Amino acid sequence: MSRILVTGGTGYIGSHTTVELMQQGYDVTIVDNLSNSSVDVLDGIESIVGRRPDFANIDCNNYVDLDGVFEQFADIVGAIHFAASKAVNESVEKPLLYYRNNLGSLITLLEVMREHQVHNLVFSSSCTVYGQPDAAHLPVDETAPIQKALSPYGNTKQINEEIIRDEAYADKHLNATILRYFNPIGAHPSALIGELPNGVPQNLLPYVTQTAAGIRKELKVFGNDYNTPDGSCIRDYIYVVDLAKAHVKAIDRMLNAKKRDQVEVFNLGTGHGISVLELINEFQNATGKKVPYSIVGRREGDIEQVWAEPRKANEVLGWKAETPIAEVLASAWKWEKHIRKIN
Ligand code: UFG
């Protein structure tokens, strides 16, 4: 059996990916400093899979600690790097924290991988690198121009992609897959793992589910005067379990493909854009729960509309986002009910 190192593996996307990897027969070692996640996630993963991933509570910025993990698990054949700070607003207030965490952890991981001759890296990037694509680039594919980042967080994703390319140029043994996620939502169908936002959610769906649960009085829709059919912003919401499966495909490909580019980039989205108002409607239809909302002003820095051209991932990775949105939204609601202990 092959072992994969998953940094940030107790986080939202990391935990779902760990489940899919283990269900496909991989062993997983998670490293996470639990700065934005709970150790209890390991129990959830174990309940779903029937095996517990190995776990080290360490910071990926710490070379000695990370090196120790590679020493202990000599069968690691690849790493998926999720560990990162990810709050856009916070990154504007604390840029140095974001640069230190998000750049330092990747650099350290690459150094330790090189030392231990582990040659396969999957990196968790974001469609934020495209900014607002012009009309000719919608849906956006991997060849669309990278635009200046709107936040330090977004900038760390861009710089990390460059670091990977530079290191791959210098070290011909290194294979890397850069996955650019659109908007991940939903939770595992078991409701044993899901997203655990800290404090007031910044992202749309956790805010929707908390409003439906009565924790928030009403959802604020940030703007209905955009140049879109209903005036609200459009995104490509991708089910986190579908997204997790793409990581397994990426690892499989790096371990097995006879021929591949040294650094490959894939957009991971559904290929369909949904507006904020449409999403609220779909949620209400899927769950029967009312979501009170009001329209407020635009949120600074928001992109008007973006959705993916996922054809490359469909064809090259053999992966497709296939879960219907109603099922995805129902999974998010099931998870919210589970963590709030409501029926
Ligand atoms: N929105 C609301 N009300 C809310 C929260 C969000 O109307 O309370 C709207 C936003 O204005 C936006 C849409 O819902 O139009 C989605 O917002 P999210 O914050 O959920 O997602 P974003 O697309 O803004 O941001 C996400 C990730 C970032 C990443 C970015 C890349 O959270 O990490 O995609 O585009 F950088």
Q: Check whether residue 107 and residue 210 sit in a common domain.
A: no
For residues 41 and 10, the answer to whether their CB atoms sit within 8 Å is: yes
Q: Check whether residue 256 and residue 317 sit in a common domain.
A: no
In a domain, 195, yes or no: no
Decide: 128 in ligand 1 pocket, CB within 6 A.
yes
| pLDDT tens sequence across 286-324 | 999 999 999 999 999 899 999 999 999 999 999 999 999
Query: What is the CATH number for 220?
Result: 3.90.25.10
The active-site residue out of 130, 153, 207, 239 is: 153
In a domain, 142, yes or no: yes
Q: List the residue whose alpha carbon is closest to atom 28 of ligand 1.
A: 88
Per-residue pLDDT, 1: 74
In a domain, 101, yes or no: yes
Per-residue pLDDT, 197: 87
Give the chain's residues under pLDDT 50: none
For residue 196, how many C-alpha atoms fall within 13 Å in the half-sphere facing its CB? Answer: 20
Single residue among 223, 245, 268 that ends a domain in this structure: 268
Q: Which atom of ligand 1 is nearest to the CA of 153?
A: 36
Q: Check whether residue 149 and residue 293 sit in a common domain.
A: no
In a domain, 190, yes or no: no
Give bridge partners of residue 266 from the DSSP assignment.
Answer: 179
Decide: 150 in ligand 1 pocket, CB within 6 A.
no
E-assigned strand segments in 145-247: 175-181, 183-185, 219-222, 234-235, 237-239
Per-residue pLDDT, 312: 98
Q: Check whether residue 217 and residue 126 sit in a common domain.
A: no
Q: Check whether residue 12 and residue 143 sit in a common domain.
A: yes
Q: Check whether residue 176 and residue 321 sit in a common domain.
A: no
Q: Check whether residue 249 and residue 145 sit in a common domain.
A: yes
In a domain, 196, yes or no: no
Question: What is the domain count for the chain?
Answer: 2
Give bridge partners of residue 177 from the DSSP assignment.
Answer: 122, 264
Decide: 90 in ligand 1 pocket, CB within 6 A.
no
Residue ranges of the alpha helices (H) in 33-149?
41-49, 63-72, 88-93, 95-115
Query: What is the CATH number for 116?
Result: 3.40.50.720
Strands 183-185, 175-181: pairing kind = unpaired
Centre of ligand 1 to C-alpha 182, Å, is: 10
The helix, strand and coil proportions of the chain, stated in percent and rounded to the nearest 5, come to 40, 15, 40
Q: Check whether residue 297 and residue 324 sit in a common domain.
A: yes
Kindly state the DSSP code that residue 74 receives in the 8-state scheme: T
Decide: 13 in ligand 1 pocket, CB within 6 A.
no
The answer to whether 207 is a known catalytic residue is no
In a domain, 135, yes or no: yes
Interatomic CA distance for residues 237 and 260, integer angstroms: 28
Single residue among 248, 268, 288 that ends a domain in this structure: 268
Centre of ligand 1 to C-alpha 204, Å, is: 6
Q: Check whether residue 139 and residue 163 sit in a common domain.
A: yes
Interatomic CA distance for residues 266 and 249, integer angstroms: 11
Q: List the residue whose alpha carbon is closest to atom 36 of ligand 1.
A: 128
Q: Check whether residue 131 and residue 262 sit in a common domain.
A: yes
In a domain, 193, yes or no: no
Q: Which atom of ligand 1 is nearest to the CA of 219?
A: 8
Which residues fall within 8 angstroms of residue 155, CB to CB, at 6 or more apart?
149
In a domain, 192, yes or no: no
| pLDDT tens sequence across 204-239 | 999 999 999 999 999 999 999 999 999 999 999 999
- Structural domain for 334, as ranges: 204-235+271-340
Q: List the residue whose alpha carbon is closest to atom 7 of ligand 1.
A: 221
What angle in degrees, to the nearest 10, is found between the helix axes of 276-287 and 325-340?
70
Centre of ligand 1 to C-alpha 343, Å, is: 28
Q: Check whether residue 9 and residue 77 sit in a common domain.
A: yes
